[in-house]
A and B are shown apart, each in its own frame.
Chain A
Amino acid sequence: MAAPLTREQVLAWLDVVKDPEIPVLSVVELGVVRDVIIGDESVIVEITPTYSGCPAMHVMEDEIRAALGAHGIIAQVRLVFREPWTTAWMSDASREKLRAYGIAPPEPEAIAAPGLVALRRQHTVACPHCGSPRTVLKSEFGSTACKSIHVCSDCRQPFDHFKAI
């Protein structure tokens, strides 16, 4: 008889499900997977949206079901909102993976306080290619809702920044 299924085992299997827009981070590393509930008949995976309208959520949902299906598990995916997702949940190792991939990682200290705030932000984003702090914000909105576009004044490379929220 097989050993009983554990939460840790399910989380390990979910590590193959990557963010379709950022294929170096898994849904577990991103903090999108909030909990795994193992029932007698099924497994419930609770996920939380990074951004309310993130189109990648639907892809992640399908892929979570498929990844667990490959291990013979019928999984239900449930969307939960009980704590808003934040880039502060990303580990140092995950940030390093982003940087190595060419995306400037979100800095935990740069998260803006919610509400009516000052017009201009003052934190610098270091270039993921050469490390220079001399970078210019080109657009607050990049290829996806979670990224902004910057250009490095030293190595002249444009790059994405994973916004701190």
Chain B
Amino acid sequence: MTVEPTRVTGAPTDVAGTVPRGPTSGTAQHPLFEYCCRIGDDRLVLGHRLSQWCGHAPILEEDIALANFALDFIGQASAFLGLAGEAEGAGRDADALAFLRDEFHFRNAQLVELPIGDFAFTIVRQYLFDAFDVLFMARLASSRHPVMAGIAAKALKEATYHVRHSAAWVVRLGDGTDESRQRMQDAVDRLWAFAGELFEGDAVDATMMEQGIGVDLPALRAPWELAVRETMAQATLVVPADPRVVTGGRRGRHSEFLGHMLAEMQILPRSHPGASW
């Protein structure tokens, strides 16, 4: 069962099947471009969200940890968006794709664009993504596309220590005080439907798989659930039975939060085109 698209705050929901805003050209014409944007955008948006903790995390060590995660993701985004720009062949580099595209051209899953919330929300989101990321990057590392395989092999090393860190927090806070457990459970309940989008496959994925480049996303769902359920059990958290999946991000349909985030992220290069320092 799918719901499309979403407004997570209870604001009016768009009607499924309406025409998406903005141009959508490139979806079928440039599958490699599209594919690299999806991978890059997930990381760019999540990296930016994580960077918002800088100076605000509950302890100094975590402040540094999240800032380091942010760096890893933004570095990976830069590599994948650079590839996207080459695949497109229109002269756009990673910076142009990151800073000069509008919301409806972003291809990230909605999971990563939600505001950071409290620390529990950030950690649960991070864990759900990291557990996906190790599985995804392990498979992408054997892609027939040699550059993508190389970037993935690098990212896999990073995903490995990311998931170790976020899983440890899930267990510590889930199996913690009444308040920490409640906050973690609220986050799990709210985020569960958003994680489903990571495992959606469409025509772009099919094309990439045919070419030996891409990953079979739906096939990752079972090993992901196995790992996540084990961690949640250790953390005494309950995995929701709700089968709904929030969708739309891969087609440029986003929650109300992405545009605000991009406005903040993009204002400098848009106000001062070509500026460098």
Contact = CB atoms under 8 A, between A and B. Distances in A.
- Are A and B subunits of one complex? yes
B65 A139 contact: yes
Interface residues of B, number: 38
Nearest to A111: B157
B259 interface: no
A91 interface: no
Nearest to B66: A141
B61 A52 contact: no
Interface of B is mostly: helix
Interface stretch (A7-15, A77-85, A101-109): A77-85
Nearest to A57: B75
A1 to B, nearest CB: 39
Interface in B21-68: 47, 61, 64-65, 68
Interface string B153-178: 11111111101110110010000000
A52 B65 contact: no
Q: In the complex, which range does the number of interface residues on chain A fall in? A: 20 to 34
Contacts of A163: 161
B150 A140 contact: no
A82 B146 contact: yes
Contacts of B146: 82
B76 interface: yes
Interface string B59-93: 00100110010111111101100000000000000
Contact of B71 (A51, A86, A139): A51
Contacts of B150: 80-84
Given A53-B74, A115-B138, A165-B161, A141 B155 contact: no
Interface of A: 49, 51-55, 80-86, 112-117, 119-121, 138-142, 145, 149, 163, 165
Interface of B: 47, 61, 64-65, 68, 70-76, 78-79, 131, 134-135, 138, 146-147, 150-151, 153-161, 163-165, 167-168, 171, 227
26 contacts: A51-B72, A52-B72, A52-B73, A52-B75, A52-B78, A52-B151, A53-B47, A53-B70, A53-B74, A53-B76, A81-B79, A81-B150, A84-B153, A84-B156, A84-B157, A114-B134, A114-B159, A116-B227, A117-B160, A117-B163, A117-B164, A119-B164, A119-B171, A140-B61, A145-B72, A165-B161
